[in-house]
A = this chain, B = another copy of it.
Amino acid sequence: MHRVARRTETIELAVLGLLHEGPMHGYELRKRLNLMLGWGRVLSYGSLYPTLKKMLRSSLIEETTTTALPTSRRPRIVYQVTDLGTAEFERLMSEVGPAAWEDDNFDIRFAFFGRTDMEIRLRVLEGRRTRLQERLDRVQQQLSLTEKEVDRYSAELQRHGVESAEREVQWLSDLINAERNSARATPQQ
């Protein structure tokens, strides 16, 4: 029953990670988020602001309203992580399991890999690779037991999909090897 992280959870993780770089306000967060989650759908305000409010309520972040400026300026609300938020970030980042390697979730986690142990990194990379490999196998298998010949364009679409997935698997394998090599080069303790 492996529940897949809701979008909100993905956003929360990304916000915690981004705020680690320093305080930011909502609008800026949104731009950064769109660049990270990018490629797919863009993040709407109606999604971001409520999430920030929710995170405030659970004390993962704090707000600092920039009120009194020389020129009367509309207050910009600047957010920053709390200690609790940092703890939550670390907890989420050290999760291994489907939540870590489903499509969107994986990208975010990967982006913040610099702040995780190599052990976790390897587990997540391998999990992701297995996940993709499973999909590939399932498709290949179902393709093989399809009796009727598929038409040109359907076949081309399938071919392209499989090729992309295979390339992604290769990418992951390279990353895994790189991690292992760096481990041998710098044996800890």
Copies of this chain: 2
**Contact call B35/A111, Cβ cutoff below 8 A:** no
Residues in B neighbouring A111, C-beta threshold 8 A: 153-154, 157
For chain A, residues 16 to 70, give those with C-beta under 8 angstroms from any C-beta of chain B: 21, 31, 35-36, 38-40
Does A135 count as interface, using CB distance less than 8 angstroms?
A: yes
Residues in B neighbouring A148, C-beta threshold 8 A: 21
**Contact call B151/A103, Cβ cutoff below 8 A:** no
**Contact call A161/B39, Cβ cutoff below 8 A:** yes
Does A114 count as interface, using CB distance less than 8 angstroms?
A: yes
For chain A, residues 136 to 188, give those with C-beta under 8 angstroms from any C-beta of chain B: 139, 142, 148, 151-154, 156-157, 160-161, 164-165, 167, 171, 175
Does A126 count as interface, using CB distance less than 8 angstroms?
A: no
Q: A36-B154, A110-B157, A160-B171 are in contact. List 7 more A-B contacts (CB 8 A).
A: A38-B161, A107-B157, A110-B156, A111-B153, A114-B153, A156-B175, A164-B167
14 contacts between A and B (CB under 8 A): A21-B148, A31-B142, A35-B139, A35-B142, A39-B161, A39-B165, A40-B103, A111-B153, A111-B154, A111-B157, A114-B152, A156-B175, A160-B171, A164-B164
Q: Which 9 A-B pairs have the closest CB atoms?
A: A113-B153, A114-B151, A111-B154, A114-B153, A111-B157, A110-B157, A35-B142, A110-B153, A39-B161
